Structure 1
Amino acid sequence: MPGRAEGGASRRPLLGAFLATLAILTVTAPAYAGPLPAGFVRLADVDPTIRQDIRYAGRENFLRRKVDGYDAPACILTTQAAKALSSVQKTMTAKGLTLVVFDCYRPARAVADMVRWTREGGPPDPQWYPTVRRGDLIAKGYVGELSSHSRGSTVDLAIADATSSVHPACGAPDGTTLDFGTGFDCFDPMSETAHRPLPAEAAADRKMLLAAMHAAGFRNYAREWWHFTLAKEPFPKQRFDFPVTAD
């Protein structure tokens, strides 16, 4: 009995420490489920005039389903990236145009979901990857095992107006974007920013987007005309995994 009592007493500090640790974890964990981490904002709070069409929150994307981590069709970016994008929007609105964003911050869990999906294999998809098998999308550089989107300062976007009626053969259909030669997420050499030949209008629209984004401090990923990262991003070596939420 004395031995058991002493053993019980010796375990109480350990139990107390465990409960204290558990309490700390319980308090801190929801920081990723509600308020955004420091340095991040919802684009709508910075510039509500930018149109949002977040494709991975729905079914109109190359997975043809919602992607893990997208709990709402909302654009989240670092504060610096959002403000820089707003400056591009001002340039566009002066021309009677608007930016439309397809993807912004992307949780690391979403990237992992995409990678798992590619490994399931399958034939080419005439809408999204017409000349590549699903299992080869990583090797061909169309899907990354890591993504700059998870750092919060990368955005996929196009320019739109109220009169365009473009229905690209490859990539995301969007009736109001200007003609860029392909749609968003067309995994094909045609999507390379400098791809030639292109129809004159598509080449001009890519040039306009590239120039406007460069002027605001973004650099383009040469394989995708729609993909831009803020050159002076605040988290260049850090990836995040909080979910995309509306509020």
Structure 2
Amino acid sequence: MSPLSTKNPAVQVQHLTKRYGRRVVVDDISLHIAQGETVGILGINGAGKTTTVEVIAGLRRHDEGSVSVLGLDPHRDRGALRQVLGVQLQDAELHSALTVLELLELYRSFYPDPRPVAELLDLVALEEQRNVRFEKLSGGQQQRLSVALALAGRPRVVILDELTTGLDPAARRRMWRTIEQLQADGVTILLISHAMEEVERLCDRIVLLQAGRVLATGTPAELVAEAGTSTLDEAFVQFTGHEMETAE
């Protein structure tokens, strides 16, 4: 177990269950994520990763169990939660006619002490695209802008879903350095990712989900040792019986 996991939790999930009709997509999950910890949420498609983090973010209601983010209930304390939680989801919908600068200014207006525009643009390397409309950005640029919007309010907890999907190798490493800056500032990060190199570099601990349940948890090195393999990719296959899908 990561030494960080013994500290006061930033995120506490207890016996979380979510159903759609008769289908159980999150099945009695419990998580304890310490303040300042970076936790990777892994699993094959359909394992319950995105639903779990959407419940944590207050975007979906759960059927059973409890969720707390920095002591806040995602639904009862929705307004307060928005001030401390940043969320970047892979399929986020943004106003296509607004420019990068207009979107940043809009999101900054939601917070009492937002990050400066110049800092946000620099964090995600979009200075040259500041006056470009969202619909004209490349997929990778749209992804980077979504991360900047999630960081606009100086959140203490951040949820990142497929952080570097669609980014070229240089942009991917630039984004990793951005996340490492957040880690140095003590920000708690939940990272959904299909990129094992990314997970090994950034995550203190991994939670591996399968069929809506926690299959295994530990540091990357601990999971590799437990699986008796030489790489995290091989450990993933050993635990799940599946190859990791490549995110589109």
**TM-score where L is the length of structure 1:** 0.26
Structure with the bigger percentage of strand: 2
Larger radius of gyration: 1
**TM-score where L is the length of structure 2:** 0.26
Higher relative contact order (CA 8 A, sep 6+): 2
